[in-house]
Chains A and B, each alone.
Chain A
Amino acid sequence: MWKFLLPFAAFVALAVLFAFGLSPSRDIHALPSPLIGKAAPIFALTDVLDPARVVSNSTLKGQVYVLNVWATWCVACREEQEALLAISQSHVVPILGLDWKDDREKSRQWLQQLGNPYQAVAYDVDGRAAIDWGVYGAPETYLVDANGLIVYKYISPVTEAVWQREFLPRIAAARRGGA
C-alpha cells in the first residue's frame, strides 16, 4: 500500500508546489521590502523644477505621506500619472516625487504635459536616494506614517482601485495609530 501511496503523495506535493511557484499571476519581480516598519531614509536633493531649491522628506516629519518613485523613461509611470493626479486632488495625503536617474529637462516637460500630482519632486540623478529606499524598478510607491516609518510599499503602477484597496485603509490605520 505505502509503495503506491508515497510516490503519489510526493507527486501531489510537487504539483501543489509548482502550481503556486510557477503560476503566471504570481509577480516574480515583486519582492518584499526589508524596509517595512523601518525608518524612512531621509534624503535632501534638488527640486527637479528648481535646482536652487532643496526637497527633503524630513520636512514631512509628523505627517503621513506617500513617496512615488518615477522617471520619464518609465512607460508604466505614464500609465500611473492619471491616477496620481486624481489622488493628489483628493488631498488625502501629500505625494512626494522621487525622479529616479532622469533628465531634468525631460522631467520638466513631463510634468508640464501630464500634470503635476506632487507636492515636490526630488531629483535623484545618481540614484543614491533610490538605493537607500531599496528601489529596484519604477514605479514604486511607499507609504510613510507620522512617525517616519515605512508602512507599505507598492510595486508597479498605482491605480484608483489599488489606492482604494491598499493605501486608504493603511492611511486610516496610520492616522489612528500615529497621531
Chain B
Amino acid sequence: MNRRPVACALAVALLCLLAAAAPVTQAAPAVQAALAAAPAALDAHGQLRDPALQARFEQITKELRCLVCQNESIADSNAELAGDLRGQVQELLVAGKSDDAIFKYMTDRYGEFVRFSPPLETKTLFIWGAPFLMLVLGGVIVFRIVRKRASMPLDDDAVTGPDLR
C-alpha cells in the first residue's frame, strides 16, 4: 500500500497527479483504443457524423465524472477508462438511446457519483435546496442587523466618533 497521504484539498490538480503516479488501484494504460462504435457513424476524427448526436455526446460526456481522475469529466480526461466510456456513450447514442437512458446505464454501473449534478429527487433535495436555504438565512441575518442599526438612536457621538457600531 503506497498511497501517499493527501494533506489537504487545496491541491485538486495535484491530487490527480498523485492518483496517476502512485495509486493502489490503477487506471488502464493505453493498451487498446476506445471501444469502437459502429464505424460508419464516426468520421475520421472519431466524432459522430450526425451533428445532433455529436452535440448530445459533448453534453453528456461533460456531465459524467471520470472515476480515475475524479475531478475531470470523461469529456476532458485522458484516462483509458474515460476513453472506453466515451466510446460506450457514442455507441448508445448511435443505438438511439435517450440521454436519460445513457445516464441510467452509467449510474447502474458506477453509482450516482458518476454524475456531476445529481438528479433532483427526495434524497438529494437538501443538496439542491441548501444554497437557497443559505440565501434565506443570510437575508434574515442581514435584515435583522440593518433593522437593529436603523432603530439605534442617533446621537452626536455618532457624527464625530469613529465607533460606527
Listed in ascending order, the chain A residues whose CB lies under 8 Å from chain B are 21-22, 24, 27-29, 31-35, 71, 73-76, 100-103, 125-128, 131-134, 136-140, 155-157
Within 8 A of A (CB), among B69-117: 70, 80-81, 84-85, 88, 107-113
Give the interface SS of chain A, mostly helix, strand, loop or mixed.
Answer: loop
Residues of A with C-beta under 8 A to B108: 34-35
The stretch among B22-30, B148-156, B157-165 that forms the contact with chain A is B22-30
Nearest Cβ in chain A — how far from B55, in angstroms? Answer: 24
Among B6, B32, B68, B112, which residue has its beta carbon within 8 angstroms of that of A136? B68
A76 and B25 contacting across the interface, CB-CB below 8 Å: yes
A131 and B24 in contact, given A22-B9, A27-B3, A31-B111 (Cβ under 8 angstroms)? no
Which residue of the partner chain, among B26, B27, B109, contacts A133 with CB atoms under 8 Å? B109
Q: Chain B, 16-48, contact with A by CB distance < 8 Å: what is the 0/1 string?
A: 000100011111110110010000000000000
Q: How many A-B contacts if CB must be within 8 Å?
A: 93
Interface residues on B, range: 20 to 34
Once bound together, how far apart are the Cα atoms of A66 and B68, in whole Å? Answer: 24
Q: Does B67 contact A (CB under 8 A)?
A: yes
Contact B31 A128 (CB under 8 A): no
Expressed in whole angstroms, the Cα–Cα distance for A91 and B67 within the complex equals 34
A5 to chain B, nearest CB (A): 16
The reply to whether the CB of B1 lies closer than 8 angstroms to some CB of chain A is yes
Contacts of A157 in B (CB 8 A): 1, 24
Task: State how many angstroms separate the Cβ of B91 from the closest Cβ of chain A.
Answer: 10
Closest 10 CB pairs of A and B: A137-B25, A24-B5, A136-B67, A156-B24, A134-B109, A34-B111, A101-B28, A74-B26, A101-B31, A127-B84
